[in-house]
Each structure stands twice: as structure tokens, then as C-alpha cells.
Structure 1
Amino acid sequence: MKAISLYSAVFLSGLSAGFYYAWQVSVIPGTKLISDSSFLESMQNINRAIQNPAFLLIFLGTLLALVGAAYFNFSQTEVFRWILAATLIYVFGVLGVTIAGNVPLNEYLDQVQLGRLDARGLSHVRDIFEKSWNLRHLIRTAFALLSFFLILGALYRFG
């Protein structure tokens, strides 16, 4: 069970880090090139669509896999420390930033009735949302990658 839990944590952490990294290097640069109305409408739709089982498996499944790996590897002090570090970084740097930062911004944007705004209003909403959301996304991307590298380190120590 030790090995299965650790491999599961590595796999899901890798998917999580890959998801955030891919978004960081493709979606964010792409959205910088589109109009305010297209950006805001796209983000509203993406934020609604991402609430699906496949994403939740990666988002929450990573946490469960990391906790499971920590539990099953508790007796191996060195490996456990790596797993614990990966878990805490994921909890605070990915889940925490998402829940405390990105989700409230998503909820704010979801309440905006884009059709009622003129060009200036759209630009204002984008200014409020985009810079703050992208900064938080960059932070959670860095933490997701760090968590992934730490759980890989645990796997290296295990084997």
C-alpha cells in the first residue's frame, strides 16, 4: 500500500502541476491578446465549465493522494518528511490560494452582467479581475510544481 499510495500521489500531483503550468504558458498569454469582452466572457465560461468531475479529481484527488501517501509512509521518517512537505505546500499554496484568491475573483466575475457594460466598464472589470487572478494563478502554479518535485523526491527516496 505504501508504494501504491506514493505512486498515486506522484501521478495526481503531476497532473495538477501540469494543468496549472499549461494554463500559465498557453491560456494566460493567449487571453492577453483578445478584447475585454471576449476575455471576460471566456473566463466566465471557463470558470463555470471547470467545475466538473475530471478537474475535481485532480484538484481534490491530489490532496487525498498526498494525505494517503503520508499516512502509509509515516514509519519511513525521511520519505514521510518529503511527503509532508509536498502535502503542506499543496494545501496552502494550491488549495489555499485557489479557495482564498481565485474562487472569490471567479465569483465576482460570474456576477457581472457583461451585456450591460460599455467598453469602459468592460475594461474596468477586466483590470480588477485579470491582474489579480493571473498573479494568484502564477503563485499556485509555482506551488503545484514545487509540491510535485517534492513528492518525486519522496519517490526517489522510497526506491
Structure 2
Amino acid sequence: MENNIKGMVLLCAIVLTGLSAGLFYAWYVSVIPGTKRVADHTYLETMQSINRAILNPGFFIIFFGSLIMLLISGYYQYLENLHLPFYFICTSIAFYMIGTLGITMFGNVPLNESLAPVNLSELSAEKLKSIRAAYEGRWNLFHAIRTLFSVLSFITLLIAAFINGSIASKI
């Protein structure tokens, strides 16, 4: 029974971390190129809307659930004294905590919060262009970094699972 729980936690960590990496990667290769093609007002209005809409239970389960499941998986690997899988899970945790969660909280979120109260309809075309220039490049850079680190977190977690043996045998 206990091995089933450990296996399910590892599987949940893999699925949630994979969903997080997939969300950020899909955004990077689809939304960002699309938003580069729209007018300043449309871009800023769209980002304000998306920044409000993404704060929902589905996103929070994936975004924070990944870290929770990674930490629990690491704890189980530590208890089993499985050194190599434990180190890979710790690396995955570090990638996720620093590169995904940290960059989001200290990079993207402050930019989003600075954009949220801006009343776009009151601004001139030049001011819209200025706000976009200050926001978009930095936001996209932070997003590229968190995308890279979420994918690295997912890959190192998969390596840990393969080193640890078949995931199916743990469930």
C-alpha cells in the first residue's frame, strides 16, 4: 500500500510538472508570436485580460501542485535512501522553485500587477507604445526563462523516475 502511495505521488508530480512545462511552452510558441502581431492597445488589453483570467483553480493546481508533489516525492526518495533518484528530484525541485515559481513570482507577476490598473482607453498612442515597450520585452524574457526551467524540471523528474525503475511497478 505504501509503495502505491509513493508511486501515485511520483506519477502526480510527473503529470503536474509536465502540464506546467507544457502550458509555458505552448504559450511561448503560440501566444507570444501571436501577440507580437497586434496593435499596442490590443496587446496591453489582451495581457490585462489574460492576467486576470489565469488566476483560477485549474492553473493553481498545476502551478503549485507541481511543487507540492515534487517535495513529497523527494521526501519519499529520501526515506527510501535512493540516492540518485533523490538527487534528480532535488534538481527538479530547484529548477521548479527557482526558475519557474521564483521567476513567475518575482518577474512576471510584478509586471502584471503594474499593468493591471492602467486605464488603456485614456492613453495616447505614444503612451501605449511606451508601456508596451517597457512591459513586453521583460515579460517575454521572464517567460522564456520559466519555460526553460519548467521543461528542465520535467526532464530531470522523468530521469529520476526511470532511474528509480518502472513507474507502473510503484503504483
TM-score interval, normalised by the smaller of the two chains: over 0.9
TM-score of the aligned structures, taking structure 1 as reference length: 0.98
SS at match of 1:33: coil
Stretches of 4+ aligned residues off by more than 6 angstroms: none
* 2:115 counterpart residue number: 109
From 116, 125, 128, the equivalent of 1:119 is 125
SS at match of 2:116: helix
Q: Does residue 82 of the first structure (1) align with residue 88 of the second (2)?
A: yes
The offset of 1:66, in angstroms, is 0.3
Count of aligned positions: 159
Q: Structure 2: any 5+ residue segments left out of the alignment?
A: 166-171
Contact 1:5 1:72 in 2 (8 A): no
Q: Which has the larger radius of gyration?
A: 2
Where in structure 1 are there 5+ consecutive unaligned residues? none
Equivalent of residue 31 in structure 1, options 32, 35, 40: 35
Q: CA RMSD in A?
A: 0.6
Normalising by structure 2, what TM-score? 0.92
Alignment match, 2:146: 140
Deviations 1:120-155 (A, max 9, x none): 010000001000000000000000000000000011
Deviation at 1:93? 0.2
Identity %: 47
Q: Which amino acid aligns with 2:14?
A: V
Corresponding residue for residue 11 of structure 2: 7
What is the one-letter code of the residue matched to 2:71? V
Q: CA deviation at 1:2?
A: 2.1
